[in-house]
């Protein structure tokens, strides 16, 4: 993906996150981004191709973030907290119809998200749990495979408009509460003390 295409995808993604996907036409995108519709069609076959590119870019960005957090975190908790705060921040402006639109109207893009969750995210969380147990920061009676699967499955719960109908429940609030619950459930006394001492964060409230 060349720089021009990445730039268009990133800007279009912001529009989709704000308004959803189905309600936004290519004319709307061109107007919002201040470019001609012809410019879009130079880089994308159609709207579905644009959405697919947006999801691919988002997945690669998230993978790199997780890898960076793992490489720079002093322990499993710092890695997980930093990733969690990034997720909370990114969900703060998401229109709740976005996930419904992806699942119903863009199955190929939705399939990439599911593959990403059950391969990369699952493996990353599984590794993090093993690390935290070894560091004596997570509870030692956890089954990493079960907890990692639960963590990944909870992503679908967070994105469900049936379980958390908008506007009663805002996306960032849902994510914040569930991630806080998960991190507290993982940590033992040493881990909780580390959080209290080292993080002035949305997780530590």
Tens of pLDDT along the chain (205 residues)? 788 899 999 999 999 988 999 999 999 999 988 889 888 899 999 999 999 999 999 999 999 999 998 899 899 999 998 888 887 777 767 777 888 899 999 999 999 999 999 999 999 999 999 999 999 999 999 999 999 999 999 888 877 778 888 778 877 788 888 888 888 899 999 999 999 888 765 555 5
At residue 201, the pLDDT reads 56
In a domain, 32, yes or no: no
Is 203 inside any structural domain? no
pLDDT score for 204: 54
The domain in which residue 64 lies consists of 56-198
114 in a domain, yes or no? yes
Q: Tell me how far apart the alpha carbons of residues 23 and 56 are, in angstroms, rounded to a whole number.
A: 21
Residue 14 lies in a domain: no
Structural contact between residues 51 and 150, judged by C-beta atoms closer than 8 angstroms: no
Question: What pLDDT score does 139 carry?
Answer: 97
According to the model, what pLDDT value does residue 168 have? 83
What is the pLDDT, as a whole number, of residue 162? 80
Give the per-residue pLDDT at 127: 96
- Please answer whether residues 18 and 95 qualify as being in contact, where contact means their C-beta atoms are separated by less than 8 angstroms: yes
- Rounded CA separation 173/88 (Å): 8
Residue 191 falls within a domain, yes or no?
A: yes
Q: Does residue 8 lie within any of the structural domains?
A: no
* Residue 4 placed within a domain: no
- Kindly report the pTM of this predicted structure: 0.86
The domain that contains 127 carries what CATH number?
1.10.357.10
How many domains does the chain contain in total? Answer: 1
- Residue pair 54/16 in contact by the 8 Å Cβ criterion: yes
For residue 163, is it within any domain? yes
Distance between CA 10 and CA 17 in Å, rounded?
Answer: 11
């Amino acid at each position: 993906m060349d720089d021009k295409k990445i730039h268009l995808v990133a800007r279009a993604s912001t529009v989709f996150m704000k308004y959803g996907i189905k309600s936004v036409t290519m004319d709307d995108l061109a107007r919002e981004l201040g470019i001609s519709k012809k410019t879009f069609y130079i880089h994308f076959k159609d709207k579905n191709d644009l959405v697919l590119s947006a999801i691919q870019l988002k997945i690669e960005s998230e993978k790199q973030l997780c890898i960076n957090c793992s490489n720079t975190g002093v322990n499993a908790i710092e890695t997980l907290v930093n990733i969690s705060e990034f997720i909370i921040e990114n969900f703060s402006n998401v229109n709740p119809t976005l996930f419904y639109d992806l699942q119903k109207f863009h199955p190929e893009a939705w399939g990439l998200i599911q593959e990403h969750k059950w391969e990369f995210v699952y493996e990353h969380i599984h590794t993090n749990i093993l690390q935290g147990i070894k560091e004596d920061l997570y509870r030692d009676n956890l089954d990493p495979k079960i907890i990692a699967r639960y963590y990944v499955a909870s992503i679908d719960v967070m994105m469900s408009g049936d379980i958390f109908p908008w506007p009663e429940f805002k996306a960032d609030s849902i994510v914040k509460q569930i991630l806080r619950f998960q991190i507290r459930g993982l940590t033992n006394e040493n881990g909780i003390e580390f959080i209290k001492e080292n993080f002035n964060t949305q997780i530590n409230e």
